[in-house]
Structure 1
Amino acid sequence: MSHRITEECLACGVCADECPNGAISEGEDKYEIDPELCTDCGTCMEACPNEAIVAE
């Protein structure tokens, strides 16, 4: 996995709605990316309104 969700995440859910693989789910304080499902397509990073998803 080359993407991660940073502490800037507002937990709005936009990234989860846009992920074509269902790799993003709500965590305790922010959303999380499941490395088993993530294909590094970058859709979540483009969709995030707070730029809280970064490439590793």
Structure 2
Amino acid sequence: MIVKPAPGLKVRHPVTKQFLPPEGIEVPDGDIFWTRVANDGDVVIEAPAPATATKKAGGDAQ
């Protein structure tokens, strides 16, 4: 999952002590710390973008 700071807030990473970038960071799904911070309204959780299917090259050309 991806966590982003809530609008207008700066949130520090608990280990690195660096501020989260506005675009967010990927963290393990179900992480207790980030779930709690999201419940407090300090971060917004986004699902990662779904992987796009790639077309196979060749095969259809005649």
Normalising by structure 1, report the TM-score. Answer: 0.38
Q: Which has the higher helix share?
A: 1
Q: Which has the higher strand share?
A: 1
Q: RCO higher in 1 or 2 (8 Å CA, sep ≥ 6)?
A: 1
Q: Larger radius of gyration, structure 1 or 2?
A: 2
Normalising by structure 2, report the TM-score. Answer: 0.36
